[in-house]
Amino acid sequence: MSMMIMTRRGFIKTAGFAAGACLMGVNFTKKAYAQAKEYLAERQLSVYKHDTAMKYRKSQDSPAIKKIYKDFLHEPCGHVSHELLHTHYHDRSAALKALTAKGVKLKIGA
Amino acid sequence: MQEIERVHYASTNAVPKPGAADTTFFVQVDQAKCQSCGTCEEVCSTGAIQPSDGQNGPRTVVDPTACMNCGQCLANCPFGAIYENVSFLDKIEAALADPKVKVVTMPAPAVRYGLGECFGYPTGTYVGGKMFTALRQLGFDKIWDNQMTADVTIMEEGTELLNRVSGKNKAPLPQFTSCCPGWIKFAETFYPQILPNLSSCKSPIGMLGPLCKTYGAQEAKIDPKQMFTVSIMPCIAKKFEGLRPDIKDIDATITTRELAYLIKKHKIDFKNLKDSEPDFDLGESTGAGTIFGNSGGVMEAALRLAYEVLSGEKLTGDAVNITPVRTHTGVQAADVNVPKFGVVKVCVISGLHNAVPIIEEVIAGKSPYHFIEVMTCPGGCVNGAGQPLAPDTLQSSLFKSVIARMNRRFHMRTMG
């Protein structure tokens, strides 16, 4: 009988699926899911296609990169880069602790 | 409320006060429209979106601390019930209308693969050339491409990785990428102990802001005080990033959708525009820069540099495609063989919940990797929540509303 045991959300989904299928045909959810996947894949493939069509494909080969390092930044991870392009991060765990102390339960953390 | 490209905005003039970004809701649920279907709760990695009554009532973002501002809830809501709460549109139009202000536009790589969808092009069509022309017609004085600073990011972040491997940089391995603002806030909030593992590099847009007002201003002979920089992103969390105190010189941030709105509002005939190019100094970019928009792209771009530096050999032809790191699944590990070095071990993650076991490994000192890429949105920035909605998101609402109705009836029964 274990296949009959369902979570509440599982029940809602199954019941909803059955009702949705009655309205719109059995393959509807499968199609919606495949469509979403396909949608993402189409954008990704377009990116890789355009990459292969570009004149330069590696950052270190770019004339604009060569110029900015020659004229301005001097070297990667050098002094100017450190000033302008690198950063320090900020520990936000105290705000999280304050929130969970109020009784808010999240998916991540204790 | 104003509807822009099928998404609602609280206002076109909603900019948080200085210092208030941490306490601002970047997305929120319209209580009147929410059908309690629970889709947003499922797609939220942190659990920031919950029933407002603790039972099964309309959902709400509980607190800005818990929300990484990624907006995947908004992008997946079948009822269009989740709205954007921050918009710089009016501020940008005021800057464009002011002849004294030099307005600089900084479009992200992924925008040019999504924008066309708002003008009837098939999904994913590359419309970069038309986008640059449209930006000029809107009155932007300079197009300095964020894709160019993706290349700068590779030079910096790739070099940082090589320095960590050689021991020249004492920071620990593995190195995590730092381009994604949802991921950065996630690490800062839930796992501050791994902050030394994050690349110290700002994101490409974090680098471009200051480069516009220094190098760009110098090359173009513009007074940086007269300059107004506009970041255009496939992303809602980038609005938060632009307001961070450690990120300077980004004056406004809009999404792909809001750019489409501007183009339509100014009656620009997008489909019939000729292609053009960005302005050179901070404009020319490479394939390595454009693949930043995909999950695995930052990794592949960095490997194209690391491979050549470590091996002393040139990558040519098909070898430039480092396909083992290309993915639209949540976690992908790969070994990349590099001559004269050995195996570079990498991992590519999209979806923050997928990062948790990998982070736990790092904290336990058991991580096998050199370099780990994390993106908040499934599949990467091309699927960011600032992009045009997938055509079926709202179309599926009839099906979802059936679930929601049953959900409510079921709930009423259990409550009774």
Looking at residue B400, its pLDDT comes to 61
Token pair 């690490």 is found at: B187
From B46, B284, B353, residue closest to A64, measured CB to CB: B284
B51-107 pLDDT per residue, tens: 999 888 999 999 999 999 999 999 999 999 999 999 999 999 999 999 999 999 999
* Range B122-133 average pLDDT: 97
Share of chain B above pLDDT 90, in %: 91
CA dihedral B242, B141, B152, B273 (to 10 degrees): 100
Looking at residue A27, its pLDDT comes to 47
**Integer Cα distance of B92 and B135 in angstroms:** 12
- CATH level 3 topology of B154-202+293-381: Fe-only Hydrogenase (Larger Subunit); Chain L, domain 3 (3.40.950)
* Range B266-288 average pLDDT: 97
With CA atoms as reference, the chain B residue closest to A93 would be B189
* Range A49-56 average pLDDT: 97
More confident: B414 or B155: B155
Least confident of A106-110, B197-201, B267-271: A106-110
Q: Where are the domains of chain B?
A: 2-87+392-415, 100-148+204-284, 154-202+293-381
What angle, 0 to 180 degrees and rounded to 10, lies between the N-to-C axes of helices B256-265 and B89-97? 50
Sheet holding B227-233, edge to edge: B142-143, B102-107, B227-233, B252-255
Look at residue B210 and give its three-state secondary structure.
helix
Does the pLDDT value for residue A1 go beyond 50? no
Task: Determine whether the interchain pair A86/B291 forms a contact, defined as Cβ–Cβ distance below 8 Å.
Answer: no
Asked whether B14 and B87 are in contact (CB, 8 A), the reply is yes
Asked whether B166 and B341 are in contact (CB, 8 A), the reply is no
B247 close contact with A: CB closer than 8 A: yes
Looking at residue A21, its pLDDT comes to 52
pLDDT-based confidence at residue B385 (cuts at 50, 70, 90): very high
pLDDT-based confidence at residue B413 (cuts at 50, 70, 90): very low
**Integer Cα distance of B8 and B358 in angstroms:** 36
Looking only at Cα atoms, what is the longest distance across chain B?
A: 73
Residue B391 Cα, gap to closest chain A Cα (Å): 9
Does the pLDDT value for residue A49 go beyond 60? yes
CA distances, A22 to each of A27, A29, B157 (Å): 10, 12, 53
CA dihedral A70, A75, A80, A85 (to 10 degrees): 110
Burial class (CB in 10 A: 0-12, 13-18, 19+), B338: middle
Choose which CATH entry (3.40.250.10, 3.40.50.720, 3.40.1110.10, 3.30.70.20) describes domain B2-87+392-415.
3.30.70.20
Looking at residue B406, its pLDDT comes to 62
CA B150, chain centre distance (Å) = 13
Looking at residue A19, its pLDDT comes to 53
Size of interface A-B (CB pairs under 8 A): 260
pLDDT-based confidence at residue B386 (cuts at 50, 70, 90): very high
Does the pLDDT value for residue A14 go beyond 60? no
What are the structure tokens assigned to B240, written together? 């938060």
**Integer Cα distance of B98 and A31 in angstroms:** 49
Looking at residue B54, its pLDDT comes to 87
Least confident of A34-38, B44-48, B147-151: A34-38
Buried b (16+ CB within 10 A) or exposed e, B57-80: ebbbbbbbbbbbbbbbbbbbbbbb
What's the N-to-C CA distance of chain B in angstroms? 36
For chain B, the average pLDDT equals 94
**Integer Cα distance of B178 and B305 in angstroms:** 17
Burial class (CB in 10 A: 0-12, 13-18, 19+), B271: exposed
Token pair 């954007």 is found at: B84
Looking at residue B86, its pLDDT comes to 98
Token pair 């649920």 is found at: B29
Which residues of chain B does A94 touch, with a Cβ-Cβ cutoff of 8 Å? none
Asked whether B191 and A96 are in contact (CB, 8 A), the reply is no
What are the structure tokens assigned to B60, written together? 């709400």
Residue A1 Cα, gap to closest chain B Cα (Å): 23
pLDDT-based confidence at residue B415 (cuts at 50, 70, 90): very low
Least confident of A92-106, B172-186, B320-334: B320-334
Residue A4 Cα, gap to closest chain B Cα (Å): 18
Token pair 């099928």 is found at: B6
**Integer Cα distance of B203 and B195 in angstroms:** 15
Residue B37 DSSP label: -
Task: Determine whether the interchain pair B152/A85 forms a contact, defined as Cβ–Cβ distance below 8 Å.
Answer: yes
- What pTM, to 2 d.p., does this model score? 0.91
Assess: ipTM above 0.90.
yes
Whats the size of chain A, residue-wise?
Answer: 110
Looking at residue B401, its pLDDT comes to 61
Which residues of chain A does B164 touch, with a Cβ-Cβ cutoff of 8 Å? none
B22 close contact with A: CB closer than 8 A: yes
Task: Determine whether the interchain pair B148/A8 forms a contact, defined as Cβ–Cβ distance below 8 Å.
Answer: no
Residue A27 Cα, gap to closest chain B Cα (Å): 12
Share of chain B above pLDDT 70, in %: 94
Which residues have C-beta within 8 Å of that of residue B372, sequence separation ≥ 6? B174, B175, B176, B177, B346, B347, B348, B349, B358, B362
Task: Determine whether the interchain pair A76/B159 forms a contact, defined as Cβ–Cβ distance below 8 Å.
Answer: yes
**Integer Cα distance of B145 and A68 in angstroms:** 14
A59-109 pLDDT per residue, tens: 999 999 999 999 999 999 999 999 999 999 999 999 999 999 999 999 997
Asked whether B204 and B242 are in contact (CB, 8 A), the reply is no
Does the pLDDT value for residue B30 go beyond 60? yes
Beta strand spans in B250-308 (E): 252-255
Asked whether B172 and B160 are in contact (CB, 8 A), the reply is no
Least confident of A40-44, B178-182, B339-343: A40-44
pLDDT-based confidence at residue B348 (cuts at 50, 70, 90): very high
With CA atoms as reference, the chain A residue closest to B304 would be A58
β pairing state of B102-107 and B227-233: parallel
* Range B354-362 average pLDDT: 98
What phi-psi label fits residue A25: left (phi over 0), alpha (psi between -120 and 50 degrees) or beta?
Answer: left
Look at residue B9 and give its three-state secondary structure.
strand
DSSP one-letter string for B393-411 = HHHTHHHHHHHHHHHHHHH
* Range B304-333 average pLDDT: 94
Which residues of chain B does A85 touch, with a Cβ-Cβ cutoff of 8 Å? 152, 156, 201-202, 206-207, 210-211
Give domain B100-148+204-284's CATH architecture.
3-Layer(aba) Sandwich (3.40)
Looking at residue B230, its pLDDT comes to 98
Task: Determine whether the interchain pair B210/A24 forms a contact, defined as Cβ–Cβ distance below 8 Å.
Answer: no
Containing B346, the helix (H) or strand (E) segment is strand B342-350
